[in-house]
Amino acid sequence: MKRLLPIAVKRLHSSFENTHPKSFMNEVRALIGIKHRNIMNLYGYCLDTKNSLLVYEYVDMGCLSSILSNKVESKKLDWLKRVNIIKGVAFALSYMHQDCSPPIVHHDISSSNVLLDSKYEARVSYFGIAKFLKPDLPNCTALAELAYTMKVTQMCDVYSFGVLALEIIKGKHLGEYITVLANLSTRDHVQLRDLLDERLPYPEDRVKEVLVFIIKLASSCLLETPKSRPTINAIHL
């Protein structure tokens, strides 16, 4: 007898797939074909007039945002685990941008859409508004990116990656520091302690160097001009 695997079911808004049903179905079929250790597997879907469901693999630890906001669970995410989570998200985005055909822009990279498995490995999830890079795509819907550009490019994900990486290191969204770090003239005035999660011990020198490198890299992802940001493939962690 085969062992049944646990699954997670996401119910979509009733109007989501009805806007462009053919396009929606094409995207779902393509996403089912994605196989990467840092991307949550989409097993299947169920669509009818009343319900639209996506069936994913079940990931043990739940979403990163919940863990970071929990006083007890967040302390289990030591600096090395956090660095590994950031690397995992970068690997997932690199796969989507470079190895998928056509390339895929997730559009909603955030701590709510990154899940952790039992080994604290990152799994990018919920491609509800993912878009394939084609000339006729509609405008970018990533809210943070809308402040800078209305064009759909991989830089939408790069910007969100920068915000997420800093959130993981700080343990919460940086708020006003996002603008400060995006500005080359004010970035150097930010103290490292202001960017670290105070719930964790101050990092040792070896780990501190890695965190400083990631902070500089993440800050470059926030630059106002998208062309000035690194591509996700150029982000080596």
- Asked if 1 contacts 47 with a C-beta cutoff of 8 angstroms, the reply is no
Residue 157 falls in the annotated catalytic set = no
For the chain, state the CA radius of gyration. Answer: 18
Alpha carbon distance 102, 124 (integer Å): 18
Which residues contact residue 116 at a Cβ distance below 8 angstroms, ignoring those fewer than 6 apart?
59, 60, 61, 62, 63, 64, 67, 85, 122, 123
Report the distance separating Cα 174 and Cα 215, nearest Å.
12
The residue among 51, 79, 65, 68 whose CA lies nearest residue 108 is 65
Which listed residue (48, 60, 78, 108) is catalytic?
108
Q: What is the dihedral angle through the alpha carbons of 140, 64, 173, 76, rounded to the nearest 10 degrees?
A: -160
Sign of CA dihedral 84, 89, 92, 98: negative
Token code pair at residue 56: 């994913």
What is the per-residue burial (b if ≥16 Cβ within 10 Å, else e) of 26-49? ebbebbeebebebbbbbeebebee
Phi/psi for 6 (5° steps) reads -70, 150
Catalytic residue IDs: 108
